[in-house]
Amino acid sequence: MLVARGHHVLLHGRNPAKLERVEAALSNLADGGRVESHVADLSRLADVEALAVDVTARHAKLDVLINNAGVFKTPDPVTGDGLDIRFVVNTIAPYLLTQRLLPLIGPSGRVVNLSSAAQSPVNLEALAGQVRLSDMEAYAQSKLALTIWSAEMAKAHKSGPVIVAINPGSLLASKMVKEGFGVEGGDLRIGADILIRAALSDEFETATGQYFDNDKGRFAAPHAEARDTWKAEAVMQAIKTVLADMT
């Protein structure tokens, strides 16, 4: 949808062959924008750093960063660094990538983070890889942690960019939903549409730090823990501690 509108889109993925196929398909859209690909496995923080370096080397400016990568269910939930892959991919990697790319995004840009209706209180030991959780527990906690850092980063950058967390819609027809819940899911364009609105529309121009719930079709309050000052600070410190240890 973005390429068809003429935008220059940077694709990211883990699989070079898949990326090549998608880039070829999008490049063939009539009157479409430019497309380029970047390979990185966001479960490896060294790959996140390398991705940021690569993007920075090729571009002086980014208008929008959409942190869309996510993991729910996987045969091996523990990364090589001993962390839960849900916290790494869903929470820590997008935080690190955003921090590294902020100089390119600048005050006029936007950061759109994919949260979820599934949010539950964050176990700080689980975030640090010291406690193992079930798939649903880890996923829901990682999404609340993402929502928390979205609001906290927005507070730290009051002059911009706009940083928002979005629940794109529950049980849409993504691979994650099909594999995790065994259902086909709703029209994926529901989620795509709200991401484009968040990235481009005037509706989100002053929405920094807010949470948009697409199930309700409006800005809404996230889980109560996101508004707990002490817990928000504790989550931020836990993320920074993991990054200090890993990088």
How many Å apart are CA 247 and CA 244, to the nearest integer? 6
Q: Tokens representing 205?
A: 């121009």
Report yes or no on 55 lying in a domain: no
pLDDT for 170-220, tens place per residue?
A: 999 888 888 888 888 899 999 999 999 999 999 999 999 999 999 999 999
Report yes or no on 54 lying in a domain: no
- Of 137, 200, 128, nearest in space to 164 by CA: 200
Report yes or no on 136 lying in a domain: yes
How many Å apart are CA 31 and CA 176, to the nearest integer? 31
Q: Tokens representing 20?
A: 């090549």
Write out the residue range of the structural domain in which residue 131 sits.
Answer: 61-246
Q: Which helix (DSSP H) or strand (DSSP E) does residue 102 occupy?
A: helix 93-105
Assess contact for 135 and 142: CB atoms under 8 A.
no
Supply the pTM of this predicted model.
0.96
Q: Inter-axis angle of helices 93-105 and 135-156, to 10 degrees?
A: 30
If you average pLDDT over residues 49-66, what whole number do you get? 98
Q: Which helix (DSSP H) or strand (DSSP E) does residue 125 occupy?
A: helix 124-127
- Statement: residue 131 has pLDDT above 80: yes
Report yes or no on 74 lying in a domain: yes
Report yes or no on 242 lying in a domain: yes
| φ and ψ at residue 112, rounded to 5 degrees | -115, 115
Amino acid at 155: K
How many Å apart are CA 236 and CA 23, to the nearest integer? 35
Q: Tokens representing 216?
A: 């309700």
* Contacts for 137 with CB less than 8 Å, ≥ 6 apart: 120, 123, 126
How many Å apart are CA 186 and CA 161, to the nearest integer? 31
Report yes or no on 4 lying in a domain: no
Report yes or no on 194 lying in a domain: yes
Q: What is the CATH number of the domain that holds 164?
A: 3.40.50.720
Report yes or no on 162 lying in a domain: yes
Which 3 state secondary structure label does DSSP give 120?
Answer: coil
How many Å apart are CA 210 and CA 219, to the nearest integer? 7
pLDDT for 70-128, tens place per residue?
A: 999 999 999 999 999 999 999 999 999 999 999 999 999 999 999 999 999 999 999 99
The tally of domains found in the chain comes to 1
